[in-house]
Amino acid sequence: MTDAPRTSIPDDLRPAYPWTGHFLDVDGGRLHYLDEGPRDAPVLLCVHGNPTWSFYWRAVVHRFAGRYRVVVPDHVGCGLSDKPQAWTYRLSDHVGNLRRLVEHLDLRDVTLVVHDWGGAIGMGVATLLADRFARFVVTNTAAFRSEEIPFSIATVKLPIYGPLAVRGLNGFARVATVRATKKGLSREAKRGLLLPYGSWHDRIATLRFVQDIPMKPGHPSWDELGRIDAGLSTLGGRPMMLCWGDDDFCFTPSFRAQWQRRFPQAQVHAWPDVGHYVMEDAPDRTLDAMQAFFAAHPVAGE
């Protein structure tokens, strides 16, 4: 199932993404992940969504890897991980792969940092391994069912149009470089985010993630997302911070309100001038907020 060469990082992107990753055999192939910082330091586990990859969290690694152990996986089908063409690409399978990584590295006292699909996947693991997770930083994501879906994303679920637009034209990832950001991306950021998705073969997960959005009962991931939502209540006593781009066409402020209803104690930063790509539109604000949040809610080793 690993029939294509992996993406390599070009020299001109090395200053932004200078790290050499690691690989773990998981369901579907080899999962690539960064593991930077002291191995005995407090853990930051950063989980990306669609159509990004570990490059999206580069500012977190640059800022915190001197003091924290920063672990950043690429989901199977994304980034520098294998891109199998016949794999399931279901939510439960991504959750299973992330769980395998957490247990393989024996990560504990984890601060989970999530975005987009990373919310459901990351919280999917946290609800299964609650004793390993200490704090949460949540950015423009969901880990619960919703009837909201933008029309432009809903059309990608159509049988013929979706594959042609996403895998043929790379429409989903390319449009995201414009629509998911309020301030606009630098040339470096745009190139980096698109780097692993240069062919029909390599865009398999970009399409499968959209197809896996469960909008009604009977969808293969409907029950798993319900399980994750029900399990969120077991995490209610842990510190949480929401850093939200309120100018997001996808995860609108109504999603932030859903998080606040489930976690009324959460610290909230709601930024009207920030879009879906929070770490691209407001990296310094987000990193500063994270640093203050960590200081206010220390874990072992801080």
Residue 106 near residue 80, CB atoms below 8 Å: no
Structure confidence at residue 2 (pLDDT)? 43
Evaluate whether 48 touches 75 at the Cβ level (below 8 Å): yes
Query: What integer pLDDT is reported at residue 32 of this predicted model?
Result: 97
Phi, psi of 115, rounded to the nearest 5 degrees: -150, 140
Domain spans in the chain, listed from the N-terminal domain onward: 11-296
Contact (CB, 8 A) for 188 and 279: no
Q: What is the pLDDT along the chain (302 residues), one digit of tens a residue?
A: 444 546 789 999 999 999 999 999 999 999 999 999 999 999 999 999 999 999 999 999 999 999 999 999 999 999 999 999 999 999 999 999 999 999 999 999 999 999 999 999 999 999 999 999 999 999 999 999 999 998 889 888 998 899 999 999 999 999 999 999 999 999 999 999 999 999 999 999 999 999 999 999 999 999 999 999 999 999 988 999 999 999 999 999 999 999 999 999 999 999 999 999 999 999 999 999 999 999 999 999 99
**CATH architecture of structural domain 11-296:** 3-Layer(aba) Sandwich (3.40)
Q: Give kind and range of the element (H or E) at residue 279.
A: helix 278-281
Cis amide linkage into residue 159, ω under 30° from 0: no
C-alpha count within 13 angstroms, C-beta hemisphere, residue 229: 15
74 Cβ contact partners less than 8 Å away, ≥ 6 residues apart: 31, 32, 33, 48, 53, 54, 80, 81, 196
User: How many angstroms separate the first and last alpha carbons of the chain?
Assistant: 42
Q: Please, are residues 134 and 102 in contact by the beta-carbon 8 Å criterion? A: no
90 within 8 A of 220, measured Cβ to Cβ:
yes
- With both helix axes pointing from N to C terminus, report the angle between 91-104 and 117-126 in degrees, rounded to the nearest 10: 60
Residue 234, amino acid? T
Q: Enter the pTM of the model.
A: 0.96
Say how many C-beta atoms besides its own lie within 10 A of residue 129's C-beta: 16
Could you report the per-residue pLDDT of 101-143, keeping only the tens digit for each? 999 999 999 999 999 999 999 999 999 999 999 999 999 999 9
Q: Token pair for residue 157? A: 């679920």
| Predicted pLDDT at 117 | 98
Query: What span, in angstroms and rounded, lies between the C-alpha atoms of 54 and 74?
Result: 6
State how far the Cα of 21 lies from the Cα of 33, in Å rounded to an integer: 5
Q: What is the Cα–Cα distance from 125 to 95, expressed in whole angstroms?
A: 6
* Listed residue (119, 42, 76) closest to 278, CA to CA: 119
Compute the C-alpha angle 3/83/2, nearest 5°.
25
